[in-house]
Structure 1
Amino acid sequence: MDVAIGHCWRCENAITREVNCRQCGVAKYCSDTCCRRDQYRHQPECEEWRPKRCSNPTCTSDSRQALKECTSCIEASYCGTDCQKAHWKDHKQKCRERAQEVRTKGAALQSYFQQQCGIPFAVPYYFGNALAIDMLNLQANECKMKLKPEDQDPLKSNFAILSAGCGNLRNWIHTVASLPADFSGKLHTFLNDFDPFVQARNVLQLYMMVMHQDEADIATSITNIWYSLKISEKDYNLLVACLTALQDLTSSKLREVTGGVIQLTEADMAPMREVWQSWLNLECRKGHPNYIDLQEQRREVFRNAPNAAEGIDVYKKEIPSDLVPSYDDYIATGHFQPLGSKRNDLQYDNPTLTGYRFRYGRNDVMKVLKILASPKKVKFVYCISDDLSPFGSWDYLKVKKNHYHKSMIVMFHGYITDQIQQAMRYLKAGHLSVSFIVWNCLELTVRLDPESCKCDRIFTSNIADYSGTQPLLKVMKPLLNHENKSSTIVTQYWNWYGLFPYAKVDGPASAGASRTKVLVECSIAAVKDTCIDIVGEAPLNNPVFMSIECRKAAGRGPFFLQEYFNYTTYFVSYLRAEFMAFNQSLGGVSDDVRHTVHMQSLLEHSGLKGAEAEMPTVKSGGEAATAKPPPFQKVRQREGLEMRDFRRGEPNKVVPFRYRRNVRRVNLFRGMERMLEWYIPESLNN
């Protein structure tokens, strides 16, 4: 669940008298009222967690504890072989269809991963596309473990985190800002991303935090430079000073002047230096020759995005009405400034919002490699995707709680600035250091020595969408700290439902059934869930009120209803199919497939710099028809690691398995995002 342990699943207040869901016993509330009001949101997960009955309708047993799953479809459960045989005539068609679906999708995924070779879309993610998370979460992990006399206090211990495909600094900043106030240990973070444009921005922002930490309003300036299209002369001068200093520093000198906080190799710094120099060379003042005019470039991005206008309209229907005017202002101008700032003072375009702008496919890999190896060769243009904004990457619940304002811009700006200020407290105290690595995460053991690099947490963004889970775990496990029982690898899945359209509430239904009934039921649940705390329970019994609100709910788009549809079985099918793509008689993704997203240093070592390289040859898989889909227990255990079992209500300990969507209507969730945690089983830890 996405609330702190010991807090109510509905109102998030601390629990003094615990009330559990009477059906599953997993959901926890502070009162019967919260339990009752959460029933509509909780229903889909409750269906998964509550004790199951034997699937044989003629079974007379009341036992719900000793049931065993059908290993083929894992959707039916039986109390014994007699019941399984008795039900087989009715069950076999659905069972065989589900097993065949997993086999078919497994073959499709095998082909996809072979073609993809771990390559994601290349767009500079200067703005995040997922919520900032606390990657350490000490209070729910090491601090909760019972210490032996010889154990060191976690608050005085040293920790290491690896963030692969890290994107921008939001996760690092939120992690540091979330450290307990009495934390006195040291935290080293490896920030890995194959994009030197993104890493150049990350180093720049951290350099500002270190070198200008004693200046008034420095956190405000960093937030302005991070997100605002236009900046003031003061912020622009700060930016120019930092870029000028960085381009003249060697990697060893950068480490020295930052007191060891920023660590990177000269090979990694070289392409970043080209990015800093290119930003410095841009003409950012209106009226000057060669003025870049980012506002017009931004309008062009929105004009050329086919679904931008429709997406903005749907989004405005979702967010609270009092926030719409400020959102309209942001869309129109791109300004992201604190309360009290004057538009006339924003005389400069923000050059750090520029970079390369295109999406690429497999055939464009070498073109992209050349750009990433030598950024100065590309024309720097406004490169923020139309579907990204500052409002999508910071948890609206936390933002609203600490900095509520009727202006989205003011509210989020205040929260982000506060997060930066809190992170800077630990920088001043000498608790932090960061290694920046520009490299393909699937080849990280080339850069990090498993003998010396022992990470307590490893985050992999949604790289599993492009590489599959198995290669990620294989690469990351040697880098995990096996001595820490709370060590965790996190894998994320955002695009999985592309192969399982049935998982969408408005998608096709199995066996040709209509989704109309499902949509109606989910609309009613959505209205009751989102309105009950505001209007109370009485209006929900009024047919006129419900009819009007259900029409509004439908107008907010399908993702608004997604939270009330139980589609866990499809996500499980995806994980089983993905497992088959690498393991069973489909043939598996060949070990000969080399991952091709390598940066400048890898190109140099392999002799490919400046030359064309052929794409890897991929071995074909075996026959899908005879492959047997794996039981879920087998899917949970890979590479000597075990996954926390979301099907049994086992909660994640570092990050939520999923987020509640409709309490975060500002955060642009689809409601399909999932996060899995992998840990070293106790049997291997002893």
Structure 2
Amino acid sequence: MAETHRFQFQYFEGMQKMGDTPYYIGNTLAADVLKLGLNEADPSSEDVDSQLARDYNILFAGVGDLRNLLLTTASLPSNFTGNIRYTLNDIDPFLLARDVLLLYMLITQSSRESIEESITNIWYSVKLPDEDFHLLRTILKEVLEHTVETLKVKTNSQLDIQKKDFEMMKEVWRKWTDMECETCKWNSVNLSAQRSSMFSGDPDSSDGLSTYIQKIPQKYRASAIKYFENGLFLLRERSHLKFDNPTLTGRPLPSPGNKGSGRLHHVLTRPKLYNFVYCIRADIWPFSGWDYVQAKKISQPDSIVDLFHTYITSVIKSALAFFKKGNIYSKFVLKNCIELCNEPNVEPKFDRIMTSNIADYTGIRTLLSSMRPLLSNTNKHAVLVTETLNWVRWCPEADLMNPLNMLKVFGLLNEMVKDTGRHDLKGTIQIMYDYFDNTTLFIRYLRIVLLATNDEPTMKKEVPSFPKDFDNIEGFRLRDFTKDLNKVIPFRHRVTARLCNNETGLQRNLEWKLL
């Protein structure tokens, strides 16, 4: 098993590829990655005031969309007076181009009425109201006319992009600008048809949607079905929508015949060379990236679209208050995150480093080694977070879908029904993970991964023990999740509390601190 892992990590070493469609919509729950009240500004500490007046640096490696940045900003205490300096890194120019566009819109249109609603519409909805589409076209025209210098001036230095990266992003914006989005035109992009084709071409999507509809509360089902049919993510019912949303287009999925090549969609391929198509995967929805537990605290409508739309707009509105003060700064870096340590003038300044599930592909040791020079060595609360989504592929005993676990599933059914009262959920395997303790198996997985990334040959090295051998990996110590709660992102999320989020029950988050 360790040798298989070793081969996988060697295979990904040095690769800078974009082998999937852009992740314009997040597929894991948004998080406040500072949580100052639990960390630097814990009420029990003696220097709360100074901690709320200082600057913080946060690195999002493999940033994805803007949900974590916006929720972190929105969650700042009202008396926070310092600056937040974000570094948003990804290898995907399509994704960063969209993030820049939405942040530029937020900053430059902050005084526009209901701008938070317009941004939410543009972020998620297949079709747009006239006023939002015309706003989008205006913003696209503006960013295309900017240089990096004039962009910085226009945003009061709140956006910072290198010239070569900016030119790559312009290729995306130009494609969106040139796209015919008026649905009545003969040459319209017709996103609804493309979206329907993507759903029908995914053999698993129908089963996935059916399972999702079954498990969410009854009052949300009609609105969820309607969303899956038309892709409209709008707060109010709109008739005769004339315009498609070009920002939901990008490079297509890899063709089936080339999936084995491993170097599809190389990062050096210019965006302008692609045929832009609807590119939101059939298994990624707006309901997956925002915590249902938090959303229902804001409003209690009978529509799942209204529930999440209202929550997202409230987050954006709260974040906007800090952007208006001018103390939120975002720097964009288009490159493989493993190379960030080779940037000029690198210093250990980041108070948080969030790495998405990059460790699933690079291995934990490689990722920690590359991030070690970047994490602050003066802030005792500084932490690096790694995430894994794919670990059961290498530890199949931990997967309840494994036929060997069928007897265990039957034994968990009664616990689930007793806890939730939902007899109709007996066929939903993901929910059973709340009652299935596979922590020991996850630890076995971590030991295998660590063994696989040792420089020494496997046969000359003993299998690492937990937690002892995780006390010093590339200068990091793993927070022992079997004894202590994580302080930034929970080790795991409770699935039954988040039925509207479509959680798999398999995501695990690890927090690493410097020695």
TM-score of the superposed pair, with normalisation by structure 1 = 0.72
Q: Do the aligned partners of 2:18 and 2:266 also contact (CA within 8 Å) in 1?
A: no
1:458 is paired with a residue whose SS is strand
Once the two structures are superposed, residues 100-135 of structure 1 have per-residue CA deviations (whole angstroms, 9 ceiling, x without a partner) of xxxxx2111001111122667432000101111111
Partner residue of 1:492?
387
Q: Do the aligned partners of 2:121 and 2:234 also contact (CA within 8 Å) in 1?
A: yes
Instruction: For 1:411 and 1:147, locate their aligned partners in 2 and report how far apart those are by CA, in whole Å.
Output: 37
Partner residue of 1:640?
475
Q: Do the aligned partners of 1:490 and 1:677 also contact (CA within 8 Å) in 2?
A: yes
Identity of aligned residues (%): 36
- One-letter amino acid matched to 1:678: W
Partner residue of 1:629?
463
Of residues 285, 291, 314 in structure 2, which corresponds to 1:389? 285
1:679 is paired with a residue whose SS is strand
Determine whether 1:523 maps to 2:421.
Answer: no
- One-letter amino acid matched to 1:434: S
Which structure 1 residue ranges, 4+ long, deviate > 6 Å from structure 2? none
Partner residue of 1:654?
488
1:163 is paired with a residue whose SS is strand
Instruction: For 2:216 and 2:285, locate their aligned partners in 1 and report how far apart those are by CA, in whole Å.
Output: 14
* Residues 374-453 of structure 1 mapped to structure 2, 5 A cutoff: 374-447=270-343, 449-451=345-347
Instruction: For 2:260 and 2:337, locate their aligned partners in 1 and report how far apart those are by CA, in whole Å.
Output: 18
Cα deviation, residue 662, structure 1: 0.8
Partner residue of 2:437?
566
Instruction: For 1:677 and 1:145, locate their aligned partners in 2 and report how far apart those are by CA, in whole Å.
Output: 22
Partner residue of 1:17?
none
2:494 is paired with a residue whose SS is coil
Of residues 396, 401, 425 in structure 2, which corresponds to 1:553? 425
Partner residue of 1:247?
144
Determine whether 1:132 maps to 2:30.
Answer: yes
Q: How many residues align?
A: 509
- One-letter amino acid matched to 1:278: K
| Structure of larger gyration radius | 1
* Residues 125-524 of structure 1 mapped to structure 2, 5 A cutoff: 125-144=23-42, 147=45, 153-339=50-236, 341-344=237-240, 346-359=241-254, 361=259, 363-365=261-263, 367-371=265-269, 374-447=270-343, 449-451=345-347, 454-509=349-404, 515-524=405-414
Partner residue of 1:580?
451
2:329 is paired with a residue whose SS is strand
Task: Name stretches of at least 5 consecutive residues in structure 1 with no aligned partner.
Answer: 1-104, 510-514, 532-548, 588-623, 682-686
2:41 is paired with a residue whose SS is helix
Instruction: For 1:636 and 1:284, locate their aligned partners in 2 and report how far apart those are by CA, in whole Å.
Output: 55
Instruction: For 1:319 and 1:148, locate their aligned partners in 2 and report how far apart those are by CA, in whole Å.
Output: 45
Cα deviation, residue 448, structure 1: 5.6
- Seen in structure 2, the aligned counterparts of structure 1 residues 584 and 476 have a Cα distance that, compared at 3 Å, is closer
Cα deviation, residue 627, structure 1: 4.0
Partner residue of 1:667?
501
Cα deviation, residue 675, structure 1: 0.3
2:60 is paired with a residue whose SS is strand
Instruction: For 1:449 and 1:365, locate their aligned partners in 2 and report how far apart those are by CA, in whole Å.
Output: 31
- Seen in structure 2, the aligned counterparts of structure 1 residues 366 and 410 have a Cα distance that, compared at 3 Å, is closer
Q: Do the aligned partners of 1:120 and 1:463 also contact (CA within 8 Å) in 2?
A: no
Q: Do the aligned partners of 1:283 and 1:289 also contact (CA within 8 Å) in 2?
A: no
Q: Do the aligned partners of 1:501 and 1:508 also contact (CA within 8 Å) in 2?
A: no
Once the two structures are superposed, residues 298-331 of structure 1 have per-residue CA deviations (whole angstroms, 9 ceiling, x without a partner) of 0010011011111111111111111110000001
Instruction: For 2:474 and 2:108, locate their aligned partners in 1 and report how far apart those are by CA, in whole Å.
Output: 43
Instruction: For 2:416 and 2:201, locate their aligned partners in 1 and report how far apart those are by CA, in whole Å.
Output: 34
Once the two structures are superposed, residues 76-117 of structure 1 have per-residue CA deviations (whole angstroms, 9 ceiling, x without a partner) of xxxxxxxxxxxxxxxxxxxxxxxxxxxxx2111001111122
Partner residue of 1:107?
3
- Seen in structure 2, the aligned counterparts of structure 1 residues 274 and 680 have a Cα distance that, compared at 3 Å, is same
2:510 is paired with a residue whose SS is strand
Q: Do the aligned partners of 1:355 and 1:379 also contact (CA within 8 Å) in 2?
A: yes
Once the two structures are superposed, residues 608-630 of structure 1 have per-residue CA deviations (whole angstroms, 9 ceiling, x without a partner) of xxxxxxxxxxxxxxxx4554211
Cα deviation, residue 436, structure 1: 0.7
Instruction: For 1:442 and 1:298, locate their aligned partners in 2 and report how far apart those are by CA, in whole Å.
Output: 34
Q: Do the aligned partners of 1:285 and 1:349 also contact (CA within 8 Å) in 2?
A: yes
Determine whether 1:123 maps to 2:18.
Answer: no
Once the two structures are superposed, residues 218-250 of structure 1 have per-residue CA deviations (whole angstroms, 9 ceiling, x without a partner) of 111111100000001111110000000101101
Cα deviation, residue 558, structure 1: 1.3
1:491 is paired with a residue whose SS is strand
- Seen in structure 2, the aligned counterparts of structure 1 residues 661 and 636 have a Cα distance that, compared at 3 Å, is farther
Q: Do the aligned partners of 1:455 and 1:481 also contact (CA within 8 Å) in 2?
A: yes
Cα deviation, residue 460, structure 1: 0.1
Cα deviation, residue 583, structure 1: 1.2
- One-letter amino acid matched to 1:283: E
Q: Do the aligned partners of 1:553 and 1:561 also contact (CA within 8 Å) in 2?
A: no
Instruction: For 1:338 and 1:314, locate their aligned partners in 2 and report how far apart those are by CA, in whole Å.
Output: 25
Once the two structures are superposed, residues 31-81 of structure 1 have per-residue CA deviations (whole angstroms, 9 ceiling, x without a partner) of xxxxxxxxxxxxxxxxxxxxxxxxxxxxxxxxxxxxxxxxxxxxxxxxxxx
1:645 is paired with a residue whose SS is coil
- One-letter amino acid matched to 1:418: S
